[in-house]
Amino acid sequence: MQLLPNEEHSAARRYLVSGAVWLCVAVLGGLFSAIQLFSPDTLRNIAVLEFGRVRPAHTNLALFAFVGMMSLGSALYIVPVMLRTRLYGERLANLSMWVYNLAMLGVAVSLPLGYTQGREYAELIYPVKALLLLALVLLLYVLLMTVLNRKENLLYVSVWYVVGAVLWTAAFYPPGNVMWRPATGALTGTVDAIWLWFYGHNIFGLFLTPLAIAIAYYIMPRVANAPLYSHTLSLIGFWTLLAFYTHIGTHHLIQAPVPTWLKTISIIDSIGMLIPVFTVLVNLWLTTKDSLGNFTRSVPGKFVFAGSIWYLVTCIQGPIQALPSVQRYTHFNNWVIGHAHIAVLGFSGMIALGGLWYVLPLVTGRRVYSMHLANLQFWLVSVGLLGFFVVLTIAGLTQGAAWISGETIYRALPLIAPYMGLRLASGVLIIIGAYIGLYNVVMTLVRGEPLQA
């Protein structure tokens, strides 16, 4: 096997497979975290499995390694196909894949060992951050050169979103991680909290979200066998996403002593996010309105359509929980954890998995080994995620109501203990789904039937 092959779609294939592998690693971190929330003494005195170490490893691997790499794999197929040209610099794209994987290996090793810079979604130590940034810069160069050397004049909206995602992330990652201060990766005081949440929220909104929308805009019209309803609406959604999302991170700090004007902007723009969200969803759903039956028969279609529904739920819940009167009940408790899971796994994660099963045969030349297993993965992840969302929402509201009533934190803990058990059970379904998916990917590579051109 060549490390840096020039074979067409080789980088896309390797990114997809990497994402499937890292999903299985990420869910193990979630398992160890959930076990300790349900039974705190089970893993006591095993330092590398302590909650404070595996939880940041879990979140970073889910964000960057699973959803990020799997989505980029689909993107590296979509962009050249939509531009009717080969990916520029296939070897360079493969190099970015190895650098990206090395960064994720650094995440999986350094955080459990206790090496951290201690900022949420920015815990990675400096060398790991530098590797991740290098991978993004390499990808950005490949994508921009592919666009410049294209044979298709029209830039379909998926291309806009893919290039935007990598460009924006490469731009805000260094300042968001305060990379000019390698020792700490942080500013000081309240300013650092503001700076952190500018970065932390943009990881979701300007990296995962554009990649997921790009994949949905590519797959849903094909499954529906219909043209996109409106190219104009797609561009409105693109520019309003950029306009509103960059200002909403401070809604995580409504309870903190940050300037009132900044809180106000974050709340207004959080509500304003309904514009790009509904623009995207209306455009996608009107594209599919006459062919919904196709999505019940297509496993990739199921994943992507379910992801679009979770996008609706996530982006209705998000603006509502940005309101101060609502945050009194929902902030600092399990409500927010439930919201994060439907954003990462429900919206962008489900669409990433849809992209995996749609694109993998096209970049391997082999049919998916078992669509029945892929369908089983869909239902396991869907049921597990729904359980997560319901259980954590109830647990969060229980905590919020107890605190508002004057109960101390430790007296509220017995109230949510049963929900932590249900959370663990729901997570097991997701873990089984992840490993079934990896088995299916491996078997597709080695035993999948040849795909006719």
- pLDDT tens, position by position, 118-149: 999 999 999 999 999 999 999 999 999 999 99
Beta strands in 225-331 (DSSP E): none
Q: What average pLDDT does range 69-95 have in this prediction?
A: 97
Q: What average pLDDT does range 262-267 have in this prediction?
A: 94
CA distances from residue 247 to 188, 206, 242, 411, 422 in whole angstroms, order as listed: 20, 12, 9, 36, 35
At residue 2 the predicted structure's pLDDT band, cuts being 50, 70 and 90, is confident
Q: Is the pLDDT of residue 445 over 90?
A: yes
Q: What is the pLDDT of residue 247?
A: 87
Q: Is the pLDDT of residue 398 over 70?
A: yes
Angle in degrees, 0-180, between the axes of helices 371-404 and 350-364, rounded to the nearest 10: 160
Q: What average pLDDT does range 272-301 have in this prediction?
A: 96
Using the Cα atoms of residue 13, residue 19, residue 22 and residue 24 in order, give the sign of their dihedral.
negative
Q: Is the pLDDT of residue 313 over 90?
A: yes
**Alpha helices for 83-186 (secondary structure H):** 90-110, 126-148, 157-176
419 token code pair = 């929900």
Q: Is the pLDDT of residue 309 over 80?
A: yes
**Rounded to an integer, what distance in angstroms lies between the CA atom of residue 225 and that of residue 228?**
10
Q: What is the pLDDT of residue 453?
A: 60
Q: Is the pLDDT of residue 109 over 70?
A: yes
Q: Is the pLDDT of residue 18 over 90?
A: yes
Q: Is the pLDDT of residue 389 over 80?
A: yes
Cβ(128)–Cβ(205) below 8 Å? no
Q: Is the pLDDT of residue 446 over 90?
A: yes
Q: What is the pLDDT of residue 368?
A: 97
- Look at the chain and count its residues: 453
**Rounded to an integer, what distance in angstroms lies between the CA atom of residue 257 and that of residue 189?**
10
Q: Span 10-447: which CATH code? A: 1.20.210.10
**Rounded to an integer, what distance in angstroms lies between the CA atom of residue 399 and that of residue 421?**
16
Q: Within 10 Å of residue 347's Cβ, how many Cβ atoms?
A: 27
CA dihedral 93, 95, 97, 102 (to 10 degrees): -160
Q: What average pLDDT does range 96-116 have in this prediction?
A: 97
Q: Is the pLDDT of residue 396 over 70?
A: yes
Q: Over pLDDT 70: what percentage of the chain?
A: 100
127 token code pair = 């060398």
> How high is the mean pLDDT of the chain?
95
Q: Is the pLDDT of residue 452 over 90?
A: no
Q: Is the pLDDT of residue 1 over 90?
A: no
- 144: exposed, middle or buried (Cβ count in 10 Å: 0-12, 13-18, 19+): middle
Q: What average pLDDT does range 317-332 have in this prediction?
A: 91
Q: What average pLDDT does range 348-355 have in this prediction?
A: 98
At residue 409 the predicted structure's pLDDT band, cuts being 50, 70 and 90, is confident
